Amino acid sequence: MLRFLLSRLGQSVFILIGVTVITFALAFLVPADPVRMIAGRSASPATVENIRHQLGLDRPVPEQYVRYVTRLVHGDLGRSYMQKTQVSTLIASRLPATLLLMAGAIFFELLIGLTAGIWAATRRGHFSDQAVMVASFVGVSAPQFLVGLLLLYVFANLLNLFPLGGYGDLHHLILPALTLGIGGGGWYSRVMRSSMADVLRQDYIRTARAKGLKERKVVLVHGLRNAILPVVAMVGLDIGIFMSGAVVVESVYGWPGIGQLAWQAIQVIDIPIIMGVTLTAAVAIVLGNLLADLVTPFIDPRVRL
């Protein structure tokens, strides 16, 4: 257990160092000079040099990288060029909306994915199985903006059941979360179906049936516990992916999450924010994977870490 944890932590640290190198390099790919962007067009050469010196951008590149990492270790993601605020403050202010949307999206993904996947796996080869599989393909092939705008048009505009967008109570959450849940649910249901079908072929399931257990209990208690493992790994991955924000859905519904922050920053090429969000997401993806690994032995005691 400890050994596994240590080796996984080691890997994670390696990946995170790599991520900092790439986010750092991203800043040098940008053709625009950040100093010019801060100083404005009419700034005198002396002011420009002054700002360049203040930001440490006149130092050699390796030294700049070391400074960048040192600040990161102290929890300092730098300061936004445009908004003149700490990036960590900006990200923290978007965190509640992002976490709420993440929870809603994962809820719908699991609801759709588990129901459809189990339904299809217990009716292999039947019409309903094929119908679910076609529906799951439609779910994964539908562009998020189409699903989002369609739901918005039908449920908010025509039926007036939900607000047209914005952030606030549960009413605002349902459509954006459902939009994300439809796409993710499509993947989940495919994974769930094939995993459940494999489990239901195993001997212990036959034993459970032979001793007279109700089919419902066989599938939902004995089957599900093993069959859900690959889905748990997917949730771990999704936690990380949603931490970078759902740019498209947030833009369709005007949801003030990290995705919107990143999108606005990308449009004005506000590098510190882009670097900060990418890094936060990468950390979340690494942690999400680690979390999925740690949860697994609790669901399936045969798995030892």
Compare residues 138 and 161 and give the one whose CB is closer to another protein.
138
159 in Cβ contact with 85 (< 8 Å):
no
Compare residues 50 and 65 and give the one whose CB is closer to another protein.
65
Q: How near is the Cβ of 282 to another protein at its closest, in Å?
A: 5
Compare residues 49 and 123 and give the one whose CB is closer to another protein.
123
Which residues, at least 6 apart from 108, have a Cβ–Cβ distance to it below 8 Å? 177, 178, 180, 181, 182, 184, 185
Q: How near is the Cβ of 185 to another protein at its closest, in Å?
A: 15
Q: How near is the Cβ of 141 to another protein at its closest, in Å?
A: 4
Compare residues 181 and 259 and give the one whose CB is closer to another protein.
259
Q: How near is the Cβ of 277 to another protein at its closest, in Å?
A: 7
Structural tokens at position 153: 């048009």
Where on the chain is the footprint of another protein (CB under 8 A)?
11, 14-16, 18-19, 22, 26, 29-31, 134, 137-138, 140-146, 149-150, 153, 157, 194, 197, 240-241, 243-245, 247-248, 251, 262-263, 266-267, 269, 274, 277-278, 281-282, 285-286
Compare residues 289 and 296 and give the one whose CB is closer to another protein.
289
Q: How near is the Cβ of 31 to another protein at its closest, in Å?
A: 7
The span from the CA of 263 to the CA of 274, in Å, is: 9
Helix, strand or coil for residue 70? helix
Beta strands in 50-208 (DSSP E): none
The span from the CA of 170 to the CA of 101, in Å, is: 10
